Amino acid sequence: MRAIWIIARREFRRYFTSPVGYLVLFLYLFILGLIVNNSLQQAYAFSLFQGAPPPNSDIIIGPMLTLLVFSIPALTMRLLAGEQAAGTLELLLTAPVRDWELIVGKWLGAFLFVLVLLALTLIYPLALHLLIEPGLDWGPVISGYLGLLLVSAALLALGVAISAMFRNQVAAFAVTLAVFLFLWMVSSLAGAGNPSEGVLRYLDFGNHFYNAFFRGVIDLQGIVYYLSVTAFGLLVGTVIIESRRWRG
């Protein structure tokens, strides 16, 4: 357990000493700021007409999932692929650290970074709260952020697993993004009446978010789904690292 924490802390710090961490933070906040500002200006333009509903937290939480899908591959690509490229993975593997501790530590480090990222974005709901009378409905904000945390955990775990497969960081980034996009679109593969439709819709990670957490609902199904994907990603990552010991 101590090993996990040491690795996580090291990874977390590395995001703040490398340009990638700041770049992701900057782009994420900048694009989100643009979108939120655009929606607000539109809302003000429309508020001249009577009966136009005021903006709610949707304008902030809606785009955040999309931005996460594109940011997380950049955060996870280095985690293990970088170690392999630099040749430091062998060093780590000879240290008194179990394989799963290594994977969980790497994942936790990235998760802590995403936690900081999400915490910084809380300024937008707070600002919106001040602009709306009698204030924002906080229910969807709470469920939305909980959903984003769960999605991040799941996507980071998949990203760590994919990073373990590669030496090349760019390849890890591309494959991670491809897998995310596939998981995002998977439900559109299912035509109506297709018996696999239910399963495919269930596998779609966007569905669980947009049909529940985004709308202000905490759904046990979504929680279990995202935690399962997290556990699955960490398992695959562990097996891949472990296999280095016995692969020829």
Are 226 and 151 contacting, i.e. CB atoms less than 8 angstroms apart? Answer: yes
Give min distance, CB of 74 to another protein, in A. Answer: 14
Give min distance, CB of 241 to another protein, in A. Answer: 11
Any contact of residue 119 with another protein (CB under 8 A)? no
Among 16, 91, 178, 182, binds another protein (CB under 8 A): 16
Any contact of residue 61 with another protein (CB under 8 A)? no
Identify which range of 16-24, 61-69, 152-160, 161-169 contacts another protein by CB under 8 A.
16-24
Among 8, 43, 103, 153, binds another protein (CB under 8 A): 43
Any contact of residue 236 with another protein (CB under 8 A)? yes
Binding string, residues 178-207; x marks residues near another protein by CB under 8 A: --------------xx--------x-----
Calpha distance 93→248 (Å, rounded): 16
Calpha distance 194→38 (Å, rounded): 39
Calpha distance 85→36 (Å, rounded): 39
Any contact of residue 90 with another protein (CB under 8 A)? no
Residues sharing a CB contact under 8 Å with residue 68, sequence separation 6 or more, in sequence order: 114, 148, 151, 152, 155
Residues sharing a CB contact under 8 Å with residue 171, sequence separation 6 or more, in sequence order: 81
